[in-house]
Amino acid sequence: MKKSFEKIGIVGFKDKSADLALALEQISAWAKAHSQVQFFALESLKGLVQKPIRVVKESGLNNMDLLLAIGGDGTVLSAAHIALGHGIPILGVNAGRVGFLAESRVEGLSKTLDDLLAGEFSTRERMMIDAAVYRGKKCLFKQTVLNEVHIRAHAPDRMVNVNVVYNGTNLTEYWADSLLISTPTGSTAYNLAAGGPIIHPATPAVVLTPVAPSSLSVRPLVLSLTPKKLQIASAVERPLDLVFDGRVTYQMNPGDEVTLTESKAVTTFIRMRHTGFVGALREKLGWTGKPRLS
């Protein structure tokens, strides 16, 4: 795929990484030498960007040809929600710690921009989940996520007790500290830390991972959402908090139900030729099937 990138948006947060300033310096220098490409930075970067980069509000990034997400995976998630509904591809630039979603490095950013201009990249689409909260037949709230829906108790220090229905059939009743429903993209985030499996990003599935379940027989479960759905409601008269991609929290009252389906929307990531999912497993997660030798 070869695409012309005439307008590039920059997403980042000043308090997140010391490498962010270095990345912006490289972009500024590169932009001065390539006047055919315009750069627009999210207003959270005001005071840190240099000319010819211009600062705009979040809505000003809705018509970009590409979003550069400079930071860690949280920054990439923020870029994904800006891109949602606009079909804007995202290139993650790792200025965080692990940065599993951020494939490129700050140190080689100028070369990465050269490669983008030359069309030396490919694209990968990642599935998303549509979540809708219902009270009877009335829809109260909607949200689309790239990583996960996290269901936890609204009251502190309480466990969640939820009923899960899969495509019209009762699946199980979970009793745990919380419950994660993760996409393949989210499988390397909180899901992985909670003991859930890593799912290849091309797999059209979600994983249900109970966090600290009360029963030893309960294990993470991988399910297809094509074209099926999950319906989840509290099994007791207590409200639940739904946390979407760690960004948005919604309180679901007793009697309400959240329905999860595969979204028609996808997040498109730019992939440089020297990177890939398997390489990221080895490099960023220290993936190995054998003991390390001293």
DSSP string, 177-190: EEEEEE-TGGGGTH
Clarify whether 73 is annotated catalytic.
Answer: yes
pLDDT in tens, 221-235: 999 998 999 999 999
* Residue 293 domain flag: no
Beta strand segments in 167-255, E: 169-182, 205-213, 221-224, 229-234, 240-244, 248-252
Burial 166-203 (b: 16+ CB within 10 A, else e): beeeebeebbbbbbbbbbbbbbbbbbbebebeebebee
Residue 18 domain flag: yes
Residues whose CB is less than 8 angstroms from the CB of residue 195 and which lie 6 or more positions away in sequence, other chains included: 209, 220
- 181 and 250, same domain (yes or no): yes
Same domain assignment for residues 84 and 145: no
% residues pLDDT > 90 (the chain): 74
One domain for residues 81 and 192: no
Residues 6+ apart with CB under 8 A from 19: 95, 106
Helices (H), the chain: 19-33, 73-83, 109-117, 190-193, 277-285
Q: pLDDT tens digit string along 238-272? A: 999 999 999 999 999 999 999 999 999 999 999 88
Shared domain check, 47 and 100: yes
Are 116 and 134 in the same domain?
Answer: no
- On whether residue 188 sits in a domain, the answer given is yes
Does residue 133 sit in the same domain as residue 257? yes
> How far apart are the C-alpha atoms of 41 and 45, rounded to whole Å?
7
Which domain CATH number covers 90?
Answer: 3.40.50.10330
DSSP 214: S
pLDDT at residue 19, rounded to an integer: 86
Domain-located, residue 292: no
Residues 150 and 218 in one domain: yes
DSSP-derived letter for residue 45 is G
- DSSP helix/strand/coil, 168: coil
pLDDT of residue 35: 94
**Per-residue pLDDT at 1:** 42
Asked whether residue 150 falls in the same domain as residue 248, the answer is: yes
Burial 17-50 (b: 16+ CB within 10 A, else e): bebbbebbebbbebbeeeeebbbbbbebbeeebe
Structural domain includes residue 91: yes
Q: Catalytic one among 15, 19, 65, 73?
A: 73
At 294, list the tokens: 């001293």
- 230 CB burial (10 A radius; 0-12, 13-18, 19+): buried
Q: How distant, in Å, are the alpha carbons of 198, 222, 226 from that of 129?
A: 17, 14, 11
Note the pLDDT of residue 99. 66
In a domain, 2, yes or no: no
Domain encompassing residue 212: 128-264
Domains contained in the chain, number: 2
Tokens 């009252």 identify what position?
Answer: 253
For residue 7, what are the β-bridge partners?
38
Q: What is the pLDDT of residues 15-27, one digit of tens each?
A: 656 789 899 999 9
**187 lies in a domain?**
yes
Residue 102 lies in a domain: yes
pLDDT digits (tens, 9 = 90+) for 59-109: 999 999 999 999 888 899 999 999 999 999 999 998 866 567 877 888 889
User: Per-residue confidence at 2, pLDDT binned at 50, 70, 90?
Assistant: very low
Q: Given 3-state DSSP classes, what are the helix, strand and coil percentages for the chain, each rounded to the nearest 5?
A: 20, 40, 40
Are both 27 and 110 inside the same structural domain? yes
Other C-beta atoms closer than 10 Å to the C-beta of 64 total: 25
User: Tokens 């979003």 belong to which residue?
Assistant: 67
Do 197 and 230 reside in the same domain of the chain?
Answer: yes
